[in-house]
């Protein structure tokens, strides 16, 4: 079982490289290949999640981060901003383990739900989250916060017709 722990200050320098490596999979989709070369979250942005939100890492046997998840509380939900696993470690259930840790965190802190935005038609995106119990939200189900996130993504070049918001309601 992978070891998942809260991120530490000395982990933060590794996280942008993990995100870059994770994004390499987009090179397999010609119209989205540019994402592999797009900006990643800065070390400072990760520091902010560490300080005010949720920043978790999955580590190897040497305690070196090989994946991460960062999230923040918004209203009654934990919003997942980024989930990334080094390319050579993808497909081993590490992303799933990070998401299960985030779900457990949301339950432990009495939040009502988890939310995120993702690509509709990529196996490692919408389908992955559906398997964890997330539901894709129709346009009429979006709250203002999620509409703004999707609009911001579109303004930064992500194709809005391929993006969706998802929610996992906790009971």
Determine contact, residues 125/165, Cβ cutoff 8 Å: no
First-to-last CA distance in the chain? 26
For the chain, what percent of residues have pLDDT higher than 70? 99
The secondary element (H helix, E strand) that includes residue 108 is helix 94-108
The secondary element (H helix, E strand) that includes residue 165 is strand 163-169
Question: Looking at residues 55-70, what average pLDDT do you find?
Answer: 95
User: 0.75 cut: is pTM over it?
Assistant: yes
* Superfamily per CATH, domain 3-169: Gcn5-related N-acetyltransferase (GNAT) (3.40.630.30)
Give, in order, the Cα–Cα distances in Å from 9 to each of 15, 55, 81, 139, 170: 11, 10, 19, 38, 30
Structural domain boundaries of the chain? 3-169
- The whole-number pLDDT of residue 1 equals 62
Band (136; pLDDT cuts 50, 70, 90): very high
- Beta strand segments in 17-100, E: 54-59, 65-74, 77-85
The per-residue pLDDT of the chain, averaged, comes to 92
């Amino acid at each position: 079982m992978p070891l998942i722990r809260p991120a530490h200050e000395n982990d933060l320098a590794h996280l942008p490289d993990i995100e870059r490596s994770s994004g390499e999979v987009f090179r397999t989709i010609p119209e989205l290949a540019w994402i592999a070369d797009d900006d990643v979250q800065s070390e400072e942005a990760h520091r902010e999640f560490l300080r005010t939100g949720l920043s978790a890492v999955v580590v190897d046997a040497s305690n070196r981060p090989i994946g991460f998840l960062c999230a923040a509380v918004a209203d009654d939900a934990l919003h997942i901003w980024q989930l990334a696993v080094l390319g050579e470690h993808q497909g081993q259930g590490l992303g799933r383990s990070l998401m299960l840790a985030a779900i457990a965190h949301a339950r432990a802190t009495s939040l009502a739900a988890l939310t995120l935005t993702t690509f509709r038609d990529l196996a490692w995106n919408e389908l992955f989250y559906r398997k964890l119990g997330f539901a894709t939200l129709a346009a009429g189900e979006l709250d203002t916060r999620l509409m703004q996130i999707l609009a911001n993504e579109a303004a930064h070049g992500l194709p809005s017709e391929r993006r969706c918001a998802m929610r996992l309601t906790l009971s």
